[in-house]
Amino acid sequence: MKNIYLKVLEFGKNKPKGFSFNELTSYFGNKLEEWEVSVLHHHAQTAFVNKTNIRPQKDSMFTCVVHGKDIYNSKFALSLESYFKYIDYLELKQAKKISNDANENSKRAQELAIQAIIVAIMVPLLIEWEEIIRLFQYLVFTLTGEDVTYR
């Protein structure tokens, strides 16, 4: 299950014009635990306070795009830093998939190489074995006069 941060980033990326705190919490329905709502409230409150400061002092995953009288009457959007972190997450996820695929392909290549080595060893032995059988048949034929052809 994804953590709350990733869920919020996925929600926020689809709302570039902003969203209210109530929209955010209602998006999750009753699936959020109390501590998760508290985390979201903290980030919204931080973004709300940062909007009034010339130099924001605290980090938040949101930025306040419409400043209302409180966080419930304001609109938020993902901060640029949050967007970049989400892009990093997606890139890491893709890199992990590519790495797993490459690992599977290398295992298949190793298996194929082992099979090729076995075949390279077995073919000369089988050819030699066939010649040994022919020699045996020839010896039996010359000694006994009987045809002992192996079929």
Q: What is the pLDDT of residue 95?
A: 97
Q: What is the pLDDT of residue 112?
A: 93
Q: What is the pLDDT of residue 1?
A: 45
- Residue 77 main-chain phi, psi, to 5 deg: -140, 165
- Half-sphere exposure of residue 141: CA atoms within 13 angstroms, side-chain side: 10
Beta-bridge partners for 66: 75
Q: What is the pLDDT of residue 19?
A: 92
Q: What is the pLDDT of residue 28?
A: 87
CB atoms within 10 A of CB 7: 18
Beta-bridge partners for 77: 63
* CA-wise closest residue to 80 among 65, 95, 91: 65
pLDDT in tens, the chain (151 residues): 468 888 899 998 888 889 999 999 889 888 888 888 888 888 888 888 877 666 655 678 888 888 888 888 899 999 888 889 999 999 999 999 999 999 999 999 999 999 999 988 888 888 887 788 888 888 877 878 777 665 5
Beta-bridge partners for 78: 62
